[in-house]
Structure 1
Amino acid sequence: MGRGKRQAEAGRRARTGAAWAMGLCLLLAAVPGLARGPASVADVAEGLQDAVVNISTTQTLQGPGEPGPMRKGPKGSPFEEFFDDFFEDEGPDGMPRKVSSLGSGFVIDPSGLIVTNNHVIEGADEIIVNFVDGSKLKVTKILGHDPKTDLALLKVEPKEPLKAVSFGNSSAMRVGDWVMAIGNPFGLGGSVTVGIISATKRDINAGPYDDFIQTDAAINRGNSGGPLFNMEGEVIGVNTAIISPTGGSIGIGFAVPSNTATKVLNQLKEYGETRRGWLGVHVQSVTEEIAEGLGLVEPMGALVASVAPDGPAAAAGIEAGDVILDFDGQEIDSMRDLPRAVVGTAIDKDVPVKLLRGGKTLNITVKIGRLPEDEAEEEDEIEETLPVAPEGEDLLGLSIAPLTDDLREKYAISDKIEGVVITDVEPDSPAARKNVKAGDVIVEVTQEEVHQPHDVIDRLRAVKRSGRGRVLLLLSDAKGELRFVAVPTS
């Protein structure tokens, strides 16, 4: 290209750029909102601040060096702390000391009902509610609290009706929707922050019913128990936890969805406690390996590892090895979906359940019971091992033997457990890589019971002949806790 042509082309580009710039300026001038930035949320915030309160608590600790009410995330999780905890008035060794905490809350009934986090008020001797106008009220009663969802419902006695806010539908919120948090970060009451919903249905390993809303609205220490609003001024979440290496916001906060909170709070108000639905099963995830062992095209549902003998599932005929695909019209895409669906179901309700058993789909009805408060799973490991030669051929790196009285005593195996005991696991074998241990008992192979070593060998041969790359084992530990393991056959 000659010099003259290059100059002409440069001039054309300059004129084009100038035209675009002028057009953009005209657009911004024609639309004032674009020139000023996003629309203000002042009108929404102004109507809500009176209903958001600061919660201050005091607790007296008697022993020297006794730990205060630290609000840490679950052991091994990436979460630093839940937001409050300010310590003062530490006495000398042997003397009582007072621990003060600051959090947030919000009024849901003009008569004086206030929502906050359980960890904000846990163990408190005195709870004071501070309002935006400077007035204070002492909490006269904790109507109820629920550690599993970290919610608490408080009662105060106001002389005049309080300004209250209402709950919205958290299920209607989408990733990218604007939200607003109001609370008491670092003791700075009435602080407003704005962000978007970053994710929904987050599982942060805080409890069995995790279903959190994640937001990048700034949430810090002291925001615990405060509301997360939509742009209509409705509460769609209760701020509960953050990820933070420093204790300050890095844009990753979590809130209990309003649809979960309202169910819990209604029960706390009516009964003073939660009354959750109970199915009576222990379930585990259907991994790709387990799906292959079951003959499923893709992982789906919740795999029943064990069934409580006197529970609703046992009465309805649900068995270990069943895969629950649908509960009360709700698809169970993953294991975590089932506990959340069950606990929100009314006690004594007859619920349709669709499950997969032996490659066939079954439809049954279960009458939901009430979850026992002490329902919990225990994990025990047997460390001592003693190799015993396998019968015959390679068994995925396992040595197995009949479950004799001597072996029951050696591995402390309950008399109620039947099957074939594993006496040794070769290092770096397929079974070892799946955390199979000596002392585990093989109860089923490919969903068929086994009682002698030859039963296990026959089932393994059948799996290999079928061409499947994995075999599904149902294992029991010494206490009777069951789990499924899909072990590669080669």
Structure 2
Amino acid sequence: MKKIGFTLLIAMLGGLLAIGGYKLFENTQLNKMSFEESQKVYFANNPANISSSTGNPDFTQASAAVAPAVVHIVTTYEPSSTTGRQGQPSPFDMFQEFFGTPRGRQQQAQPTRASGSGVIISTDGYIVTNNHVVENASKIEVKLTDKRVFEAKLIGRDPNTDLALLKVSASSPLPIVKLGDSDAVNIGEWVLAVGYPLGLESTVTAGIVSAKGRALNLLGQEERQQQYYENPDEVPVSAAIESFIQTDAVINRGNSGGALVNSNGELIGINAAIASQTGYYAGYGFAIPVNLVKKIANDFKEFGKVKRGFVGITFTELDPDVAKSLDISEYNGLYVQDVVVNGGAEKAGIKKGDIITKIDGRVITASSVLQERVGRMGPGDKVELTYLRDGKEHKTTVTLQDAATSMPTSTTASKSSTQLYNDLGAGFSTIPADRKKELGISSGVVVSDVRRDGLFSQYGVPRGLIITSINGVAVNNIEQIENALSKSNSSMINIKGVSPDGGRVEMTFPTK
């Protein structure tokens, strides 16, 4: 009998050692995996078994699976930090916070606190949220639904995508939300928004996907087109990426950084903003696609920063007015304004005047399609571009390059373009000589982009307008626009031009 007991004891000890060794091996391997790979291992051993219903929707299983892994984030700001709009600390979700009313700096006698949401994506405590939830915070606390509270470490944040990655340390594995596939999301499918709105506890709301690929000019009004510098002498690079999933699931202040999941409980987006005149839900919410989230989060985990690949072009998104101004028949796609010398696009044969219509076989209906797809890749990755030249379709493979080899070669021109975009809230394209001849003009630039909160938008200058002169000075390029503005001593700007259909236009308005 003693012999049998001794044998059983040895067997049990052997089993425990084997399990312990396996767990040690498993944890070591998980640290080397991407978030998506580690989740596959986790859910292979812990299947969710959530069924999506048809007919009368039932979200109880998805809600129960997701809610424990969506956390409440409470941030603390020191008196000198930028905490939001004048009179309102830490603005979350408000459409007008991104354009319309700029963030202001204010001195507070005491530290201020604000809150948002976040999503746990790994059992060892990595959490995804919005950049604007944690930006400038001196302290970040994470509260779980089981009342545990952790102080979080900021791993990285990216204003260009409005994403941030946090890390907490817990004594046991944390619940996670399963990463889905935002490319597989369909307009009209049911989704759930999970977060901590208006200071409430964990809240789940339901709706449908209203649209995909929304570009709303929300991100980085302070940074957008103002670009980013490694050092003051470098040419800036436009890197804001917007391709939001739009939903009518109820999202309010505080939902920022929370989960947008499908009926299977899979994360398809990180909630980021609402469209509202009042700051409260009005039917339009926007989430960052999870496929972009995966790339940014993995970069932060592996490199501590985002590594971006660039095609090496500047372009104008086409619509009927811009196409007519440029004297081309295509209304969809991206008109290549310029190609970076020695960039990926030039090496692949792309030229100025080409019209890019597809990326990896996907039709480019808006610039957000290209930006989001490229935003999920890094230097060295390849994309297939379909483009039109002289009415014929061509395909080429572009190897993405890093910022240092993908910037325009003219620093002065780039800075001028950036400054004009900030001052006027508009971008410009040159016009072919034959188009000028057709319109009977000797000078002109096309207004190719109008920023929603900019000066041109404020005074109704439309996209597609051809400006022939500013303050009486003929303009054909960025340098001439800048020169025309600098020579005027007046606080007014006078614009003369023609509409795409040839009608004459003159507008005068203050520069501030």
State the TM-score bracket (shorter-chain normalisation). 0.5 to 0.7
SS of equivalent residue, structure 2 residue 291:
helix
Give deviations 1:36-59, integer Å, cap 9, x for gaps. Answer: x94442333223222111000101
Output aligned runs, 1:37-52, within 5 Å: 38-52=56-70
The one-letter amino acid paired with 2:251 is I
1:17-166 to 2 correspondence within 5 Å?
38-62=56-80, 68-71=89-92, 90-91=108-109, 97-139=110-152, 141-166=153-178
Kindly tell me: are residues 363 and 145 of structure 1, through their superposed partners in 2, closer, same or farther at Cα, counting changes over 3 Å?
A: same
- How far the C-alpha of 1:282 sits from its partner, in A, is 1.0
* CA distance in 2: counterparts of 1:218 and 1:373, whole angstroms: 43
Paired residues of 1:73 and 1:80 also in contact (CA < 8 A): no
Measured at CA, do residues 364 and 110 of structure 1 come closer, stay the same or move farther in structure 2, by a change above 3 Å?
A: closer
Whole-Å separation in 1 of the counterparts to 2:82 and 2:241: 36
Question: How far has the Cα of 1:180 moved from its partner?
Answer: 1.2
Distance change >3 Å, CA 106–CA 79, structure 1 → 2: farther
Q: Distance in 2 between matches of 1:440 and 1:367?
A: 39
Q: 1:187 aligns with which of 193, 199, 210?
A: 199
The one of 373, 379, 401 aligned to 1:369: 401
Q: Percent of pairs identical after alignment?
A: 35
Instruction: Say if 1:374 and 1:75 are closer, same or farther in 2 by CA, change over 3 A.
Output: farther
1:359 correspondence with 2:371: no
Q: Report the CA distance shift for 1:373/1:203 in structure 2 as closer, same or farther (over 3 A).
A: farther
- Which residue of the other structure, out of 267, 273, 276, is the alignment partner of 1:235? 267
Question: 1:318: Cα distance to partner?
Answer: 2.5
Larger-gyration structure (1/2): 1
* SS of corresponding position for 2:121: strand
Task: Give the match's secondary structure for 1:342.
Answer: helix
Counterpart selection for 1:378 from 405, 414, 418: 418
Deviation at 1:354, TM superposition (A): 3.0
Q: Give the match's secondary structure for 2:316.
A: strand
Q: Classify the secondary structure of the residue corresponding to 2:302.
A: helix
Residues 153/379 of structure 1: CA separation in 2 closer, same or farther (3 Å cut): same
In the alignment, the residues of structure 1 paired with residue 443 and residue 209 of structure 2 have an alpha-carbon distance, to the nearest angstrom, of 52
- In the alignment, what sits opposite 1:29? none
1:256-405 equivalences in 2 (<5 Å):
256-291=288-323, 297-371=329-403, 378-380=418-420, 396=439, 398=441
Instruction: Measure the CA separation in 2 of the matches of 1:142 and 1:71.
Output: 18
- Which letter does structure 2 place at the counterpart of 1:156? V
Q: Are the structure 2 counterparts of residues 81 and 185 from structure 1 closer, same or farther at C-alpha, using a change threshold of 3 Å?
A: farther
What secondary structure, in the 3-state scheme, does the structure 1 residue paired with 2:78 have? strand
Q: CA deviation at 1:168?
A: 1.0
Cα distance change of structure 1 residues 277 and 480 upon mapping to structure 2, 3 Å threshold: farther
Quote how far apart the aligned CAs of 1:367 are. 2.4
Unaligned 5+ residue runs, structure 2? 1-52, 220-239, 408-413, 425-435, 445-462, 484-497, 504-512
Q: How much has 1:295 moved relative to structure 2?
A: 6.9
Please state how far the C-alpha of 1:236 moved relative to its aligned partner.
Answer: 1.1
1:478 aligns with 2:480: yes
Q: Give 1 or 2: higher helix fraction.
A: 2
1:147-180 per-residue CA deviation (whole Å, 9 max, x = no partner) reads 1111111011101111111111222222221111
Mapped to 1, the partners of 2:79 and 2:406 lie a distance apart of 27
CA contact (8 A) 1:79 1:242 kept: no
Check conservation: 2:208, 2:248, Cα contact below 8 A. yes
Q: 1: distance between equivalents of 2:100 and 2:279?
A: 10
- Return the offset for 1:316: 3.5
Please tell me the root mean square deviation across aligned C-alpha atoms, in Å.
4.0
Letter in 2 for 1:176: G
Retained in 2: the 8 A contact 1:302–1:338? no
Shift of the 79–197 alpha-carbon distance from structure 1 to 2, 3 Å rule, reads farther
1:347 Cα deviation (Å)?
1.6
Shifted more, 267-276 versus 61-70: the winner is: 61-70
Change (3 A) 1:352 1:63: closer
Task: Go from structure 1 to structure 2 and tell me whether the alpha carbon gap of 1:137 and 1:63 turns closer, same or farther (over 3 Å shift).
Answer: closer
1:226 is displaced (CA, Å) by: 0.5
Identify the match of residue 217 of structure 2 among 205, 209, 223: 205
Q: C-alpha deviations, 1:305-331, integer Å up to 9, x for none?
A: 122234322334432212122333333
Moved more, 223-232 or 72-81: 72-81
Deviation at 1:440, TM superposition (A): 5.5
SS at match of 1:366: strand
CA contact (8 A) 1:216 1:251 kept: yes
Separation in structure 1 between the aligned mates of residue 375 and residue 341 of structure 2, nearest angstrom: 19
